[in-house]
Structure 1
Amino acid sequence: MNEIKVPELAESITEGTIAEWLVKKGDNIEKGDPVVELETDKVNVEVNSDFSGVITEIIREEGDDVEVGDIIAKIDENGEAGGDTSQEENEPAESKAKENEQKKEEPKQEDKQADKEETQSKGDVIASPAARKRARELNIDLSKVSPRDPLGRIRPEDVDAAASSSKENTKPAKEDKKSKEKTEFDKPVERVKMSRRRQTIAKRLVDVQHEAAMLTTFNEVDLTNVMKLRSERKEKFIEKHGVKLGFMSFFTKAVVGALKEFPLLNAEIQDNEIVIKKFYDIGIAVSTDDGLVVPVVRDADRLDFAGVEKEIGNLGKKARDKKLEMSELQGGSFTITNGGTFGSMLSTPILNAPQVGILGMHNIQKRAMVMPDDSIEVRPMMYIALSYDHRIVDGKEAVQFLVRVKQLLEDPYDLLLEG
C-alpha cells in the first residue's frame, strides 16, 4: 500500500487547502495523473500521483487544511478498479457482520473512559467536546447552560450565549440601555468560509498597513493623445501583432520610464538597507473569482508595446483559469492596479509588500477643461493615484514621479517610438 502525500509546493509555501478531489475511491490511476487540486496562498496546484494503482482510501476531505508531507490518500498498486481493495473490504461477510456487532455492543475503551469522566464531572449534562472546551475557556458552569438542541446536547454556541448573558447581567444600568452585543442574528444570514487565498489577502493587507508608512498622492491625466494614437494605430497594430493596443501597455511603459528617473520607487526595505532594483518587473493586478492576484510582467523595459500587451493578456487569462505558476507571481518591483474597469473614479491603492510603490488607474470621464489659452474643451480625463512607503520615499519624489507618468501619457508618441 502506497501513500499520496502533499509535496513540496514552493519556497515559502508550506500548507494549502484541498480544493477538489479529481479522483474517488476505487478509481484506477496511472503514475503522474493529477489526483487532487490544492488551493494555496497564491495559486491552485494540482498534485500528481507518484504511483500507478487503485485509490483505496481518501484520508482528507475537500476544505481540509493540509501541510507539506501530510498523507491525503492511499493507493494499492495491485488493486482492481471499482473493486473492494482494502483488506477490511475483502473479509467474509459473516466475519464483518460479527465484528460490527461486537463494535456496537462494546464501546471503545477510550469512549468509556471519556463518558465516565464526563459523568463524574458534570453529572447528567450532555455536551459536545467542543462545548466543554469552550466552557473551560470561559469558566462557565455547563449545568447552568440552556441547550437549544431538542435532544438537550450543549453546543459551543450555547456556551457563548451563556457567557454573553452573564456579562450583560453584570453591566451597570446605564450600559444596559445601550445596544447590546448580539451573539445571533435575528434575520437570515449566510456564513461562507473564507478561502485560503482570501485569508492571505486579508492578512497581507492588514500587515502592510501596520508595517509601512503608507501615503497616497493624486494627479489627473488628459488621455486625448493616447486615445487618438490608439485609434490611429489599432487596426495596423492588430494586423501586425495579433493583439489589441490597450491602455495598460501605455501605463506600463510610462511607469518604467518614471521608475528610471526615480529609482527609490523601484526599491524595497530589508532590515536597515534599501535595496534598489535595477530591473523592471511590473505586477499587474488581476481580479478573479477567488480574489486579487498580481502576476508579474518580467523585464517590461525590454518589451515593446505588443510584447507588454501579449504578456498582460496571457497572464490575465491564466489568472482567471487558475493556471498561474508560482514563478509568475513572485518578485515584482512595482505594481499597477486598474479600478477603472469596475467604474472606480478615485481610490487609494494599498501597497503590495515588500514593494514601496503602486499606481492606481481609474475610469475615464469626459470633463470640461480650461486649456492654456483659456479656452474650454471637453477632454477624456483620468485620476491616477500613487501610494508609496514614506519610510524611504519622500513626498517631493512621489509627486514628481506621478507628474512624470502624467507627462509621458500626455505625450505618448515618443513613448511609443522609444518603447
Structure 2
Amino acid sequence: MADIYVPELGESVADATVGKWLKQEGEAVKSGEALVELETDKINFEVEAEEDGVLESIAKGEGETVEVGEVIGSIGEGSGEPAASEDEGASEEAGAGAEEEAPEEPAGDSGGSSNGSSGGSEGEFRASPTVRKLAAEYEIDLASIAGSGSRVTREDVERAIREKDRGGAQPAAEENGSAAKESAPKAQPSVQPSGREDQEERIKFSRRRQTIAKRLVESQQTAAMLTTFNEVDMTAVMDLRRRRKDEFNERTGARLGFMSFFTKAAVAALKAYPNVNAELQETELVLKKYYDIGVAVSTDEGLVVPVLRDADRKSFAEIESGIADLAVKARDGKLSLADLSGGTFTITNGGIFGSLLSTPILTMPQVAILGMHKIQERPMVVDGEVKVRPMMYLALSYDHRVIDGREAVSFLVRIKELIEDPESLLLEG
C-alpha cells in the first residue's frame, strides 16, 4: 500500500482544500493519473498517482482542509476491475468500525437503524467516508435515506440537507417537548423566511473566492488606504498606436495595446518615487529595487493577479506578449504558484468592463495600486479652445502609512505626463 500525500504547495502556502476526487474508492489507477484536485489560495492543481493499483481509501473528503505532507488517501495493489464494488464496500465498512457481517445484524446498529429496517442499515454501510462525514456534519441520519440504488451518495445526502432546511426547526421543537412548543412563538428568527426558498440557490464559495474575500477585508482593515485621482489625455498614445500597431504586430508578433505604455510609465514613476515600490514589515520599510508588476485578470472564479517579472528590463513587445500569456493561462486555469507570487506594484484596468471611475483595493503587502478606466471623449480646454479629447480617469490607491499625499499625487502626475508624451517613455527606458 502507498499513501497519497499533499505535496509542497509553494512559497507561503501551507494548506489547501480538497476540491474534487477524480477517482473513487475501488477504482483502478495508473501511475501519473490525476487522483484529486486541491484548491489553494492562488491556484488549483491535481495530485497524481505515483504507482499503478487501486484507490484503496479516501482519508480526506471534498471540502476538507489539508496541510502539506498530510495523508489524504492510499493506493493498494490490484486491478480494481472484478472486485471493485466488494473492496469498496469492505473498506467503507472497516472505516465505519463495522464487521463484514454487520448488514446481516441490523438490530446491533445504533441510531436510526434501531427500527430494524434492512434498507436503513444497508444505506448506512453503503455510504463512503466522505458521505458519512457530510451527513454527520449536518446531523443527517443515513438510515432514513433511501439512497440511489444500493448506495447512499453525496447527492442523496445533499437532497436530505435541502429538505431539512426547508422543514426549518419544527422537528427539533417537537422532540424538545411542550416547553419548546411554548417558547417557540416568542423566538424571532434573525432572518424571516421569504416563502420562496424553492426559488433560491445556495452556492458554496470556492477556496479561491473565500481567500479573495478574506484578503480584501484584511487589506481594508490593515492599511490606511486612500485614493487620489487624475485624468490623462490619451490623444498621443492613441495616435501612436494607430500609426504603428500594424508594423509593430508584423515585426514582433505582439499586439500593441495600452498596457505596455502604462507599465512603462508605472516603472518610470516607481523609480522616481521608490516608496511606492515598497513593503511595510512591522517597523521597517523594505524598498525594492526590482519591478515585478502585477496585472489584474478577471476569471470565472474571481480576480487573480499574475506577475510580470522584471518589467523594467522588458521592451514594449515583451511586455505585451508577457501580459497576453499570463491572461491566457489565468483564464485556462494554468497559472503556477510562481506566476502569482511576489509582485511589487499592481495595475488593474476596469475600463475593459466599462468602468469610468473606481477606487481599487491594495494587493497586500504592496503599498499602492494603479487603476485604469474607460476612455471617454469629453470636451476639454486646450490652449484656450474647447476641443473633444479621449480622456481616461486614473486612480492611485495607496497606504498612507508609507506614502504621503504629496508623494502619491506626484507619482500619479508623473504617469500622466509620460502617457501624454509617449515618446518620453523611450528616454525613460
TM-score, structure 2 normalization: 0.78
Alignment of 1:185-264 (within 5 A): 185-187=194-196, 188-264=199-275
Please give the per-residue CA displacement for 1:361-393, whole angstroms capped at 9, x wherever unaligned.
Answer: 000001111102x11111110000000010110
- 1:16 touches 1:39 (CA, 8 Å); kept in 2? yes
Matched, 1:184 2:193: yes
Which one-letter code corresponds to 2:267 in the other structure?
V
Percent identity between the aligned chains?
A: 52
Which one-letter code corresponds to 2:422 in the other structure?
P
State the partner residue of 1:361. 372
Alignment of 1:7-86 (within 5 A): 7-76=7-76, 78-84=77-83
- 2:58 touches 2:74 (CA, 8 Å); kept in 1? yes
Structure 1 residue 48: Cα displacement = 1.7
Please give the per-residue CA displacement for 1:89-125, whole angstroms capped at 9, x wherever unaligned.
Answer: 699xxxx99814444121259999xxxxxxxxxxxxx
Matched, 1:154 2:172: yes
Structure 1 residue 2: Cα displacement = 2.1
State the partner residue of 1:336. 347
Identify if the C-alpha distance between structure 1 residues 54 and 101 changes in structure 2 by more than 3 Å, giving closer, same or farther.
closer
Q: C-alpha separation between the residues in 2 aligned to 1:293 and 1:151?
A: 40
More off after superposition, 56-65 vs 376-385: 56-65
More off after superposition, 350-359 vs 16-25: 16-25
Which one-letter code corresponds to 1:401 in the other structure?
F
Which one of the candidate residues 284, 298, 303 is aligned to 2:295?
284
- 2:299 touches 2:330 (CA, 8 Å); kept in 1? yes
State the partner residue of 1:105. 107
Which one of the candidate residues 418, 422, 427 is aligned to 1:408?
418
Q: C-alpha separation between the residues in 2 aligned to 1:164 and 1:212?
A: 45
Alignment of 1:266-345 (within 5 A): 266-345=277-356
- 1:131 touches 1:154 (CA, 8 Å); kept in 2? no
Is there any run of 5+ residues in structure 2 with no aligned partner, and where?
91-97, 115-134, 140-164
- 2:268 touches 2:428 (CA, 8 Å); kept in 1? no
Which one-letter code corresponds to 1:154 in the other structure?
A
Matched, 1:352 2:351: no
CA RMSD of aligned residues (A): 3.3
State the partner residue of 2:130. none
Which one of the candidate residues 370, 377, 393 is aligned to 1:383?
393
Which one-letter code corresponds to 1:79 in the other structure?
G
Please give the per-residue CA displacement for 1:43-96, whole angstroms capped at 9, x wherever unaligned.
Answer: 1111122222122334444444333344333212x30142325885699xxxx9
- 1:229 touches 1:413 (CA, 8 Å); kept in 2? no
Secondary structure of the corresponding residue to residue 154 of structure 1: helix
Secondary structure of the corresponding residue to residue 387 of structure 1: strand
- 1:39 touches 1:45 (CA, 8 Å); kept in 2? yes
Q: C-alpha separation between the residues in 1 aligned to 2:102 and 2:269?
A: 74
Identify if the C-alpha distance between structure 1 residues 370 and 191 changes in structure 2 by more than 3 Å, giving closer, same or farther.
same
- 1:26 touches 1:55 (CA, 8 Å); kept in 2? yes
Identify if the C-alpha distance between structure 1 residues 348 and 163 changes in structure 2 by more than 3 Å, giving closer, same or farther.
farther
Secondary structure of the corresponding residue to residue 402 of structure 2: coil
State the partner residue of 1:139. none
- 2:26 touches 2:85 (CA, 8 Å); kept in 1? no
Structure 1 residue 12: Cα displacement = 2.4
Q: C-alpha separation between the residues in 1 aligned to 2:109 and 2:377?
A: 76
Q: C-alpha separation between the residues in 2 aligned to 1:272 and 1:386?
A: 24
Q: C-alpha separation between the residues in 1 aligned to 2:399 and 2:306?
A: 21
Structure 1 residue 150: Cα displacement = 10
Q: C-alpha separation between the residues in 2 aligned to 1:162 and 1:14?
A: 50
State the partner residue of 1:120. none
Q: C-alpha separation between the residues in 2 aligned to 1:183 and 1:15?
A: 37
Is there any run of 5+ residues in structure 1 with no aligned partner, and where?
113-127, 133-146, 169-179
State the partner residue of 2:155. none
Secondary structure of the corresponding residue to residue 279 of structure 2: strand
Identify if the C-alpha distance between structure 1 residues 103 and 71 changes in structure 2 by more than 3 Å, giving closer, same or farther.
farther
- 1:26 touches 1:83 (CA, 8 Å); kept in 2? no
Identify if the C-alpha distance between structure 1 residues 224 and 325 changes in structure 2 by more than 3 Å, giving closer, same or farther.
same
- 2:275 touches 2:287 (CA, 8 Å); kept in 1? yes
State the partner residue of 2:119. none
Q: C-alpha separation between the residues in 2 aligned to 1:111 and 1:212?
A: 56
Which one-letter code corresponds to 2:289 in the other structure?
K
Q: C-alpha separation between the residues in 2 aligned to 1:6 and 1:345?
A: 44
Matched, 1:393 2:403: yes
Q: C-alpha separation between the residues in 2 aligned to 1:329 and 1:275?
A: 20
- 1:19 touches 1:37 (CA, 8 Å); kept in 2? yes
- 2:17 touches 2:65 (CA, 8 Å); kept in 1? yes
Please give the per-residue CA displacement for 1:273-315, whole angstroms capped at 9, x wherever unaligned.
Answer: 1111101000001111001111110000000000101110111
